[in-house]
Chains A and B, each alone.
Chain A
């Protein structure tokens, strides 16, 4: 049964939308209205998504480079990531996403704390930057002797005609290590999302499956995709997998190595956490190697339990199922103790969340567990399937911006393809076990809640004014804008430098954190005491 979110205290959504659109010029209002939808979890309405942001609008979105280098490739520690371009792009993506990594020993490589750039100058723009890029790669090789080097193109690179792919080929031949490039110029797509796709393509083409020497012998092998180990989320999950007896071969890309991607084709299963940023690799691996994938969610205690059970069910191993149940029972007891304490203090509070391409959905689980109401949500760079579910994929209009991003043609690898896994998949599907499944955010949201794609500053400011939510979730650029209004903002990209929030341990951290934020004394101290007193009229008289 779906709840109808009709609360006397909340404004009528349609009237409110009109009120917000009033400020916009006619054309802008028309476009924005299509991305500003009143939800119906049964008859899911269409949401405009993954289209260009209107110029001049203050948006949350970033660029293609940010999605490629910053999000997908950034968290991998054994690759020297050289940013080919002027200095800024490398500087801003330097450690700011909090991707934690744990090299096994002090002697293992970790280039994450380093920012590499060709620092292009005037003359490189005029005469081309390929020579400098080659020299930079040589210098990086000579200084560090890395396992591999990746090159990331920034805006001017594509425009001046530098061919990073041919540079990569030449240098690979010269130095004898794996070197590969990404054409992830900032302007390539309408948001970070294009960069995710480009990163997925590059990693699949140049890295996945290239090591056929190493043969894995563990019993239950798996890759985790779309988990970036922000605030240590992956560390929590790694422990669960170990307890279940699963060998996590590669993580794309939190706490990962390029080396592990090279033999990541030798798994039985890919689990997908952030559908938006990584579904491409999962799909391509299924086509080429026959490895099935399904969606998981480790944000929220119940969601974690459900995902772990599904994994155990996939392997169908009695020992694993038993270990998983024991793990869940043990951890759930801890979760319950905290939720019983926190829930009465936050129950019924309202939340808005505008973030990412998965997080605005995943985190609703945690708020539901706390009894809080999500009244509006939206993504920064998602596509329609992330809102409405994968069933709409065949109907998504492919516009010029999407066509820009190459869709790799992937063929079955006759030698490495695993028909046994596909047979297993078919058998499980008969028992209603779902693969390639993502239902999107909207079925999980109440009727009459708001679903807003690529929210603008004006819209969020008005929403705050009209709804007065108890909590707002977004990113660093929105953080203090919202807090100046006296409403706490939880950052769901950087976690406000806290976390982990994944798994049972993460859920506990999150409950406590939200209680702390909403119930902090400071929000009641904003008004000076004299503001509430009648004004004293008169003057200071000296005797």
Chain B
């Protein structure tokens, strides 16, 4: 057994201080990922070298593509006397050597604990002539002891909106789409949906063609993708903003409303049938377009697949862990499939999660156990599974240890996925993305059945 010391929930101690096998990581990695979704932007980690190294490593393992970012390389001296000198030197070196259009600085627990003020230091850099003409510096406070990787992403997206969006006298017939933390393939799918709906849009951030680039024989420090400065600037004149996922996008949508009076609507990340329905309706309503037949057809195809294969989902118990913006609509969808999501954890703190879970689960799956925030970790979920076994696990790569020990089918979904490819290229949002998710769930369950059923029960046609 890999996780040989994990106990049943009824035998495990009640933990308040110790997290075991976290279902979250820290803010800065989210800020780094969000900053990669802006064209010509170099994320910069203001802290020890290790932060930058760890974040680049996990993102690289997840995308199998270059993840470029720089660091202030704190040592003991900077930690005692403040990191201002390190940041000023960093900015001057970065603009001369790596020539980005934007440096997106995020803080770390170290720089926040000593009280470095990123905005003030950036202003000083500008005054000292360390920021070349036409180049920009953006700052987001992302202390690791607050929130999670999810809120780090939200803070960086908000920083971009704050910095670049502005209002002119000319209204633009376009919708701002502020995306929650999803894959580059999902960003591409969101853009395709907007095109099919004939709605002009700005997508922020947009990591497609940044972290899933082609092999051409030439390394590009700043790949072709990413939201441009001009696009971000124009967001202040849009007719409205749609944010997909409240945890990741609500702050940015509010910032944009405050700054440029652009109204907003927050929907779920469009994972699953009904979350996609709500997203499509929100776009149609905001842009005042009717939903094109092509979208309705895609929806029909998804419903058809669910209807055809319903028997394989029915009453199957599922354990789910991950980020609130994506697992909330996922849990709703699992119920629509006829499944029972009985064990759910999300390390990201926030009261909304528990409320949403209660609303979604109380009627259809009252036996479900769910928790978020500190100690809502994968160890806890595993103790629940040991008490009340499940038929399927959905979550990031770390779930494979539980899946193997307990012999449970496993679908990879979320961050990080560091042992399989696919997420960079094939989406799980929209009706077509959800169809892929359905296929993955079915494959996991049916492969399990094929491998484990008695020979006389082995089915040719399923």
By a beta-carbon cutoff of 8 Å, the part of chain A in contact with chain B is: 23-25, 28, 52-66, 82, 85-96, 106, 109-111, 113-122, 124-125, 132-133, 135-140, 142-144, 154-156, 158-160, 185-191, 400-401, 404, 457-458, 461, 475-477, 479-486, 526-527
Chain B 106-132 against A: per-residue CB contact (8 Å), 1 yes, 0 no? 001110011000000000000000000
Do residues A136 and B25 form an inter-chain contact, with CB atoms below 8 A? no
Contacts of B220 in A (CB 8 A): 484
Do residues A135 and B75 form an inter-chain contact, with CB atoms below 8 A? no
CB within 8 Å for A132 and B93 given contacts A106-B1, A124-B145, A187-B110: no
Do residues A92 and B217 form an inter-chain contact, with CB atoms below 8 A? no
Selected A-B contacts with CB under 8 Å, 23 pairs? A23-B96, A25-B92, A28-B93, A28-B97, A53-B49, A55-B90, A56-B92, A62-B53, A86-B143, A86-B144, A86-B145, A87-B24, A88-B29, A90-B19, A93-B54, A95-B398, A106-B4, A113-B3, A140-B18, A155-B48, A155-B113, A479-B64, A526-B216
Chain B 40-68 against A: per-residue CB contact (8 Å), 1 yes, 0 no? 00001001111101111110110011111
Do residues B75 and A187 form an inter-chain contact, with CB atoms below 8 A? yes
Is there a chain A Cβ closer than 8 Å to B414's Cβ? no
Contacts of A86 in B (CB 8 A): 26, 109, 143-145
CB within 8 Å for A485 and B219 given contacts A58-B68, A87-B19, A115-B21: yes
Which residue of chain A has the shortest Cβ distance to B398 in the bound complex?
A94
CB within 8 Å for A186 and B49 given contacts A82-B18, A90-B22, A457-B68: yes
CA distance A28 to B401 in the complex (A): 46
By a beta-carbon cutoff of 8 Å, the part of chain B in contact with chain A is: 1-5, 7, 12-13, 15-22, 24-29, 44, 47-51, 53-58, 60-61, 64-79, 85-87, 89-94, 96-98, 108-110, 113-114, 143-146, 148, 213, 215-220, 347, 374-375, 379, 398, 401
Contacts of B72 in A (CB 8 A): 55-56
CB within 8 Å for A92 and B58 given contacts A63-B48, A477-B67, A484-B219: yes
CA distance A485 to B221 in the complex (A): 11
Which residue of chain B has the shortest Cβ distance to A138 in the bound complex?
B17
CA distance A343 to B120 in the complex (A): 59
Contacts of B74 in A (CB 8 A): 186-187
* A228 nearest CB across to chain B (Å): 17
* A181 nearest CB across to chain B (Å): 16
Do residues A156 and B4 form an inter-chain contact, with CB atoms below 8 A? no
7 tightest Cβ-Cβ pairs between the two chains A and B: A63-B50, A88-B26, A56-B90, A56-B93, A186-B48, A86-B144, A135-B17
* A-B contact sample (10 more), CB < 8 A, given A25-B92, A117-B18, A187-B110: A55-B93, A56-B89, A87-B144, A88-B26, A88-B144, A117-B22, A186-B50, A187-B48, A485-B219, A526-B217
Do residues A458 and B18 form an inter-chain contact, with CB atoms below 8 A? no
CA distance A144 to B96 in the complex (A): 53
CA distance A191 to B75 in the complex (A): 9
Do residues B51 and A139 form an inter-chain contact, with CB atoms below 8 A? no
Do residues B70 and A121 form an inter-chain contact, with CB atoms below 8 A? no
Which residue of chain A has the shortest Cβ distance to B57 in the bound complex?
A476
Do residues A156 and B18 form an inter-chain contact, with CB atoms below 8 A? no
Partner of A485, one of B92, B217, B401: B217
Do residues B19 and A55 form an inter-chain contact, with CB atoms below 8 A? no
CB within 8 Å for A66 and B16 given contacts A106-B1, A115-B22, A187-B79: no
CA distance A115 to B347 in the complex (A): 14
Contacts of A57 in B (CB 8 A): 70, 73, 93, 97
Which residue of chain A has the shortest Cβ distance to B77 in the bound complex?
A400
Do residues A88 and B92 form an inter-chain contact, with CB atoms below 8 A? no
* A107 nearest CB across to chain B (Å): 8
Contacts of A25 in B (CB 8 A): 92-93, 96-97
Which residue of chain A has the shortest Cβ distance to B148 in the bound complex?
A87
Do residues B109 and A154 form an inter-chain contact, with CB atoms below 8 A? yes
Which residue of chain A has the shortest Cβ distance to B218 in the bound complex?
A485
Contacts of A485 in B (CB 8 A): 217-219
